[in-house]
Amino acid sequence: MSERPGERRPVRAADRRGERGRAPVVVIGAGLAGLTAAAYLRRLGIRVRVFEAGPHIAGLAKTERDPEGFVYDFGAHFITNRLAAAIGVGAHCRTIKHYGETVRLEGRTYAYPMGLMRRADFILSAIRRRAIVDERRPPRTAADVFRLRYGDALARRVAFPLLEAWSGAPADKLAPSVAAALQHGIGHTLLLKLDGRLTRRAVAIGYSHEMPESPNVWHVYPMGGVAVLCQRLLEGLEGCIELNSPVQQIMVDGDRVVGVRAGGQEHAASAVVSTAPVHVLPRLVVGTDVLRPLARFRYRPMVFVNLRMEGRGLLPDTVLWTPDAGGPFFRLTETPLSMPWLAPRGKTLLVADLGCEVGDEIWRASDEELADRCLAHLDWIPDARRRYRGCRVMRSPIAYPVHLAEYEDDRQRFAQSTGIRGLVSVGRNGEFAHLLMEDVYWRTLDAMRRLVADRAAAAA
């Protein structure tokens, strides 16, 4: 994410000047970001207190296993071998040998993204768009970006429907930042794919924006889910974490954080690292209203329907995008194609992603009702209904941040700084960014380095 100033400031012992006698840094949330922040600060000898609202660590991450042997991951649970090594959990991870995405369009399947270039109408449209559009004019919406990058036909037939189902807003209402580009262009991406084939490893492509892509960085699956990472980060944080302790207030004096209220008590804080969804911050922060614009920021709720099915290989590849499915879902994932251990032998899991709003008919529908709706649009899978063995549904009220153009300026300002000295917002929800696990880790470390350097500068 290039919009945040990317300076990598050194952190040295000199930065610890003035730490003695200072109030601790309060971390809100014991998920990957919160624990990464707390563990880093703790290693530098800075006192930390972590307040976790729920009864568990690991934030939103959740892994469940049913008696039949199906494993349900809440949230994307694969990471990279690089992140696993950085945290020190490589020994607990299994290599993912293959990962691929496809698009189903008009009954045909195309590999994503290159396979779509098989269609002449898409190619012609892309060429035409490049020829007539003045590229110097900066795109104002996500729709502009996709039209420019892929041409009108592909944008209209594939990108817009997916974008709208995913975000709940039309593409011309979304900010250009939604459209992430490939890190190194098509040639490099093809090379990485080739590397993955040769080495039989799912080389991570488009996964991390913070660190370079490489044939040596591939997807791995932490056995036990993200909790394994969090458990490792917990070492050294004994006595610093308070579960069932929602933070009710973040107290600001002037333009500086001075403490938090949690469990009905006030706690002094020299800084606060929040992983809370940003639209909650204006309600939490007392003593200033500089965060008021964040109240408008929206997250897209999502319902994930896990269909237990007989057979394996029901989808052409791990992920199938369905821009013209006409049904409730826009994406299907057959996780056992990449991670065979997530389902018993001879069976599989299909995860259907359904965008919704909290309280709407999808959100309120029963599990079986949702499964029935999904199956109705899976008639192209032979005997889909006969294969169906049951389902489990997970609902997330804040699955993805929605970058609406109407608050893009505020979002970019927030991406630079919260505007309150000593208040840092990190993590997928805290940054209001569609970050994957590895970027959450590196960006949180960078944020902590900036925080420590700022504290040292202030002390000096």
Q: Minimum Å distance from CB 138 to other proteins?
A: 31
Closest to other proteins by CB, 11 or 272: 11
Q: Minimum Å distance from CB 2 to other proteins?
A: 16
Supply 38's token pair. 């707390």
Q: Minimum Å distance from CB 256 to other proteins?
A: 25
Q: Minimum Å distance from CB 240 to other proteins?
A: 12
Spatial distance between the Cα atoms of 415 and 27, rounded to a whole number of angstroms:
19
Q: Concatenated DSSP letters for 345-368? A: TTEEEEEEEEE--TTSHHHHS-HH
Q: Return phi, psi of residue 404, to 5°.
A: -75, 140
Residue 66 touching other proteins (CB under 8 A): yes
Closest to other proteins by CB, 17 or 283: 17
Residue 45 touching other proteins (CB under 8 A): yes
Residue 68 touching other proteins (CB under 8 A): no
Residue 15 touching other proteins (CB under 8 A): yes
Q: Considering only CA atoms, which of 354, 435, 392 is closest in space to residue 79?
A: 435
Q: Minimum Å distance from CB 358 to other proteins?
A: 20
Q: Are 338 and 318 in contact, with CB atoms under 8 Å apart?
A: yes
Residue 13 touching other proteins (CB under 8 A): yes
Spatial distance between the Cα atoms of 428 and 276, rounded to a whole number of angstroms:
9
Closest to other proteins by CB, 3 or 235: 235
Q: Which residues pair with 65 in a beta bridge?
A: 71
Residues 6+ apart with CB under 8 A from 23: 47, 259, 268, 269, 270
Map the footprint of other proteins across residues 16-35, applying CB under 8 A.
16
Span near other proteins by CB under 8 A; candidates 42-50, 263-271, 352-360, 426-434: 42-50
Residue 40 touching other proteins (CB under 8 A): yes
Binding mask 214-243 for other proteins (x = CB under 8 A): xxxx----xxxx-xx-xxx--xx------x
Q: Which residues pair with 102 in a beta bridge?
A: 111, 320
**Rounded (to 5) percent helix, strand, coil in the chain:** 40, 25, 40
In 265-387 the beta strands, taken as DSSP E runs, fall at 265-268, 271-274, 285-286, 298-310, 319-321, 331-333, 347-355
Map the footprint of other proteins across residues 80-109, applying CB under 8 A.
81-82, 84-86, 88-93
Identified binder of other proteins from the candidate list 10, 138, 185, 187, rule CB under 8 A: 10
Q: Which residues bind other proteins (CB under 8 A)?
A: 8-16, 40, 42-45, 54-58, 61-67, 74, 81-82, 84-86, 88-93, 198-199, 211, 214-217, 222-225, 227-228, 230-232, 235-236, 243, 449
